Amino acid sequence: MRLELRGLTKKFGDFVADDAIDLVVEPGRIHAVLGENGAGKSTLMNMLYGILEPTEGQILIDGAPVRFRSPGDAIAAGIGMVHQHFKLVGPFSVADNVQLGREHAKAGIIDRGAARRAVREVSQRFGLALDPDALCENLPVGVQQRVEIVKALSGPTELLILDEPTAVLTPPEVAELLAIMRKLADSGMSIIFISHKLKEVKAVADTITVIRRGKVVAEASPTDSEAELAAAMVGREVTLTVDKTPAEPGATALAITDLTVLDERGLPVLNGLNLTVRAGEIVGLAGVEGNGQTELARAVLGTLTAAGGSIELLGTEVTRWQPARRIAAGLGYIPEDRGRDGVVGDFTVAENIVLNQYRDAPLSRRGVVDETAVRDIAVKAIAEFDIRTQGPGEHVSALSGGNQQKVVIAREFSRPRKVIVAAQPTRGVDIGAIEFIHARLVAERDAGTAVLLISAELDEILALSDRVAVIFDGRIVGEVSPDRPRSEVGQLMIGHTPAENE
């Protein structure tokens, strides 16, 4: 399929999210769309997929203008889309999810046999192994992503839209997805690929279009350097390295001793874990996802209960404390899953920014919230964190994915705290925002905050941390200095301790 967009425009009220976009996607090509958070990428894809109606402009397929009134129209025309935020229904099976909203669901009744056959057929044709009867909520994210792809491919698909498909994937899952994309393109499919990870874009894209504030600003090539691509996106030079002086750690601020946490089957997900973070240092937690990182973060916050061991915050044992009490005692928390624990979509940007402090003085006196003070804090945070929004009163659900993440970051940085747990702090944010968040974490450290950084990006861990602790199978298996070779950290991450190597 050859897709052409001519002057495609989307306005929300007076705000122009996409401004006369011209774009051509050739058959069999992987076309990357790059741009900052809020540049208009998802909005553009939603117009292509019939979710949003263009304000102006035309969509042409193989030269003929088309108009989509719903995703059903787009699917019928050969377009499949994997959304930035998963739209799977957790308690439903893979087959049911794939068939939801498609023809097999005649009059709202799903033909289970047809659904299962369709899943098997599509997974075989594209080499995407799936069990049609598995419940989606029990699947790892990488497999859920595969369900989304099979769903997008189960129509007469000739153009596949992937909106940040790699944001939540582990490095091996990313490699697998890129290989699948290449195979699909080689078989003639056109692919639109959105990602903030320039390495991936350079590895897989044939063509790159850069948009900024709703306008096409450049056509780039995958042979351009990351620095060149970053500059084209953001409109200025971006520092891709982190500037910092050696840490001057003070007293222990977070002490985790022999921590054990059990999953719902009673098996240990944290198994006697020991870790300390001192004031004024960044400790990075490196590890292959699924080795207890998520549980550690949640146990420190207090949303998971310890079955054994203790957690001390600033010298006080908090193991049995509720999360709110820990937060009041000086704990900051950037959650990895902003949709679930991060923002409240129905609340405004301002309400989300003051979420943990509006009940207390000075924002609230005798139960009356000082709206002007809340607004002032929000206006300041919006400017400081470059949150692209129409204002403090806008609902967070209207913000782009990366800008929702910036709201969480702004909230955690705009109140006093002594210890901060930052889980995947830069997931889904653009390269300019990454530079900013990294600089802020280092500034926090220099102001004496203890930072526990959890990240699936080893580059990020090595660039920011003063000490690197490696987690494997629910335990810290070693500690390395961040200037040691990557391979040394890598060996520990897969459970090889130095003694075993010799």
Query: Which spans of this chain sit near ligand ATP (rule: CB under 6 A)?
Result: 12, 17, 35, 37-43, 84, 388-389, 398-403
Task: Specify whether the CB–CB gap between 212 and 235 falls below 8 A.
Answer: yes
φ, ψ of residue 303 to 5 degrees: the values are -85, -10
Helix, strand, coil percentages in the chain from 3-state DSSP, rounded to 5: 35, 25, 40
Shortest Cβ contact with Mg ion: which residue? 42
Window 101 to 160, contacts with Mg ion (CB under 5 A): none
DSSP secondary structure of 331-395:
EEEE-S-IIIII--TTSBHHHHHTTTTTTSTTTEETTEE-HHHHHHHHHHHHHHTT---S-TTSB
Return the closest-CA partner of residue 118 out of 144, 158, 150.
150
Partner from ligand ATP, Mg ion, none binding residue 17, C-beta < 5-8 Å depending on class: ligand ATP
With respect to Mg ion, which residue has the nearer C-beta, 4 or 163?
Answer: 163
Partner from ligand ATP, Mg ion, none binding residue 132, C-beta < 5-8 Å depending on class: none
Closest separation in Å from C-beta 115 to ligand ATP: 31
Dihedral class, residue 474 (left if φ above 0, else alpha if ψ from -120 to 50, else beta) = left
With respect to Mg ion, which residue has the nearer C-beta, 280 or 401?
Answer: 401
Closest separation in Å from C-beta 370 to Mg ion: 34
Q: Binding of Mg ion at residue 9 (CB under 5 A)?
A: no
* Helix segments in 401-485, DSSP class H: 401-413, 431-446, 458-464
Closest separation in Å from C-beta 269 to ligand ATP: 31
Closest separation in Å from C-beta 197 to Mg ion: 14
Tokens of 220: 């780039």
With respect to Mg ion, which residue has the nearer C-beta, 45 or 311?
Answer: 45
Q: Using CB under 5 A, which of 54, 401, 425, 432 touches Mg ion? A: 401
Closest separation in Å from C-beta 236 to Mg ion: 21
Closest separation in Å from C-beta 9 to ligand ATP: 12
Partner from ligand ATP, Mg ion, none binding residue 398, C-beta < 5-8 Å depending on class: ligand ATP
With respect to Mg ion, which residue has the nearer C-beta, 354 or 396?
Answer: 396
197/430 Cα distance (integer angstroms): 8
Closest separation in Å from C-beta 435 to ligand ATP: 15
The number of residues that bind Mg ion (CB under 5 A) is 4
With respect to ligand ATP, which residue has the nearer C-beta, 268 or 342?
Answer: 342
One-letter amino acid for residue 145 of the chain: Q
Partner from Mg ion, ligand ATP, none binding residue 37, C-beta < 5-8 Å depending on class: ligand ATP
HSE value, Cβ hemisphere, 13 Å, CA-based, for 152: 29
Q: Using CB under 5 A, which of 42, 123, 145, 291 touches Mg ion? A: 42
Partner from ligand ATP, Mg ion, none binding residue 291, C-beta < 5-8 Å depending on class: none
Residues 6+ apart with CB under 8 A from 395: 345, 346, 347, 348, 349
**Taking the mean position of all CA atoms in its chain, how far away is CA 367?**
36
With respect to ligand ATP, which residue has the nearer C-beta, 38 or 432?
Answer: 38
Partner from Mg ion, ligand ATP, none binding residue 356, C-beta < 5-8 Å depending on class: none
Q: Taking each helix axis as running N to C, give the angle between helix 431-446 and helix 226-234, from 0 to 180 degrees, rounded to the nearest 10.
A: 90
Site string for Mg ion, 361-380 (x = CB under 5 A): --------------------
With respect to Mg ion, which residue has the nearer C-beta, 45 or 350?
Answer: 45
One-letter amino acid for residue 188 of the chain: G
Cα 320 to Cα 266, 306, 313, 323, 395, distances in angstroms: 19, 8, 12, 9, 35
Task: Specify whether the CB–CB gap between 145 and 170 falls below 8 A.
Answer: no
Dihedral class, residue 302 (left if φ above 0, else alpha if ψ from -120 to 50, else beta) = left
Closest separation in Å from C-beta 336 to ligand ATP: 17
Q: Which residues bind Mg ion (CB under 5 A)?
A: 42, 84, 400-401
